[in-house]
A and B are shown apart, each in its own frame.
Chain A
């Protein structure tokens, strides 16, 4: 009896090891992407990639997808629209990747859309804005919480109008992302008969913003909607602090990229007070889902040695969620078939660490989950303060609201 048990155990052991070996011998599932690891968008690209890498390690620890390990194939696109198309051609034709993630940002993503559509590949977008509005690729799924195109501007202008705003100024960077935001803001303002008293696009590489802020202030707007990119947002706020924007401004901010990044926020300190700006995730009540806390615990450990944003609120959890989206689809369909994956993502709601995600026909969120939050009570040179609730009070969406607007802007700055 004992000998039979031993033989049985031995045969089972050999069988299991053979199956295990077969699983280990299977090639990994390759997920290809470019990422801005240098250049102007790198401050976002690096934490985004770290979020995706944490997901890869988690899923591989659980045995991978379809019994195969997950491998990331990543190239630096230098934040350039000129680099990304060649990289995606290489990913498809030479690296033969199985799945595609988009780079962080609108600028490097927009030029790869025709190629990805032509090849019939699913593309998990990474915080681009309106890149699919003209291409209409039915396998595009944006991980960002933007939702309908006008939701962003509508939320900001709602808050401004409720605060008594009757006129609006629009200051935007002269590049694709900011111009898309500015365009929707103009359309929303037009529908609401909100006069735009100042509308300027400043060129990239603008060094000094005090002249622009002076001209903006002279137009005496009630609401100031700013669509700026990371290098400029800090310059604009410095100029606002020095020159002032006028006592009649009730709401300032809206679309300032950069004020979500830990090092920038820590350096700007009290200059941030009063600014109402978009965000994607904040440590406020109601923002924690299954796995959110564990993710940030792991991210905090890995961010400092990797020299990336130690907070990582804005992009990193959405990088992780990109992985969760694709894992849910691959696991449910039990295949890497692009059409089957796309069908699943169109029809299903996927639970992620940034909340449940469901897509509309254009591959954007069915409902916007973009936050508008006001910086309140910020002190200088303290990055840890941003980890506590109450420092960026959520004003929109209503169901996540965690505080009230302080207005006018000059009062909120004190």
Chain B
């Protein structure tokens, strides 16, 4: 029973970490319909930015994540503009060609990281890494507690931004009906570019969490591509709260399986859950029809 309780608690924390690394994709893929398969590569790139600041200037990883956020925002703006000019504007099969574009970007990022940082794993130093918090008989890793706090904060922030601010509502409007936004006199491309910038900017903090939770290497993006897309689709495209809930369900299911039934079954869990949810609710947990 203790094991089950610990598995659930760790699962919630792990789920929050999954939410943090997926929430940017929930904006770019879920809301904007951009096939952003380079999302995990952007995430790993952000982790390396955090590693650089931590290793060179001894800046706390989370603070490093915040510091690189503006750079990532600009990078996101440029990446979307390039994607739009070369693919989205040119035809109906933009999505298919867009996948090829973002795959290409992911490979370029991977190679650049290898050339600059080398192929070895890198990790960061912080007071909360390698320590745990005792709660009753339980020992909870502090780095997962940090992930929990940051993920819930990010979700709250993005939800408020998208529902309460003018630009946030404009982003939702573009997601619902791009043509109607155009008829209202607004430029949907500018709005989408801004939203893509935000989706990339949140990777600053998410990348910090990634390297706090485990060491990174340039090819780590491949491990996250399935998980992040699974969370976003299961959540319901474009739902920030749904992303958090779906990620927590995934985290809890994974840790229960890992703890009680054996590690070999864990990879199947995310996709089994996804199929189960889509069978019952094709629009995802909190998605609209």
Contacts and interface: CB of A to CB of B under 8 A. Distances in A.
B153 interface: no
Interface stretch (A93-101, A199-207, A367-375): A199-207
Contacts of B223: 204-205, 207
A87 to B, nearest CB: 18
Given A40-B219, A211-B7, A231-B217, A242 B121 contact: no
Nearest to A380: B125
B131 interface: yes
B132 A212 contact: no
A300 interface: no
Interface in B1-53: 3, 6-7, 10-11, 14, 17
Contact of B214 (A37, A212, A234, A263): A234
A261 B130 contact: no
Interface residues of B, number: 46
B259 A244 contact: no
Contacts of B7: 211, 214
B256 to A, nearest CB: 8
Interface string B189-208: 00000000000000000000
A230 B214 CA distance: 12
Contact of B259 (A37, A215, A242, A309): A215
A214 B3 contact: yes
Interface in B136-190: 139, 141-144
Given A206-B266, A212-B258, A243 B141 contact: yes
Interface in A218-261: 218, 230-231, 234-235, 238-239, 241-244, 258, 261
B262 interface: yes
Contacts of A42: 114, 119
A357 interface: no
A91 interface: no
A150 interface: no
A234 B130 contact: no
A267 B214 CA distance: 12
A211 B119 CA distance: 28
A238 B139 CA distance: 13
A43 B215 contact: no
A309 B118 CA distance: 9
A284 interface: no
Interface in A68-123: none
Contact of A309 (B14, B120, B217): B120
B255 interface: yes
A211 B130 contact: no
B213 A218 contact: no
Contact of B114 (A38, A207, A210, A271): A38
Interface string A19-59: 00000000000000000011110110110000000000000
Contacts of A210: 10, 141, 144
A138 interface: no
B119 A46 contact: yes
Contacts of B56: none
Query: Taking each of B10, B17, B120, B213, which has the highest tally of chain A beta carbons within 10 Å of its own beta carbon?
Result: B120
Contact of A238 (B122, B129, B218): B129
A341 interface: no
B6 to A, nearest CB: 6
A212 B263 contact: yes
Contacts of A214: 3, 6-7, 10, 259
Contacts of A381: 125
A267 B122 contact: yes
A207 B143 CA distance: 13
Contacts of A204: 223
A83 to B, nearest CB: 14
Given A38-B114, A231-B217, A218 B3 contact: yes
Contacts of B254: 211
A307 B117 CA distance: 7
A369 to B, nearest CB: 26
A349 B93 CA distance: 64
Contact of B263 (A40, A200, A271): A200
B260 interface: yes
B264 interface: yes
Given A214-B259, A215-B260, A307-B119, 17 more contacts: A38-B219, A40-B217, A42-B119, A43-B119, A200-B262, A200-B263, A206-B258, A207-B14, A207-B214, A210-B10, A211-B258, A215-B259, A242-B141, A243-B139, A267-B122, A271-B130, A380-B125
Interface of A: 37-40, 42-43, 45-46, 174, 200-208, 210-212, 214-215, 218, 230-231, 234-235, 238-239, 241-244, 258, 261, 263-264, 267, 271, 307-309, 380-381
7 contacts: A38-B219, A208-B144, A208-B213, A238-B130, A238-B214, A242-B130, A261-B120
- The 9 tightest CB contacts between A and B, nearest first, are A42-B119, A307-B118, A202-B263, A205-B223, A242-B132, A211-B258, A242-B141, A211-B255, A263-B120
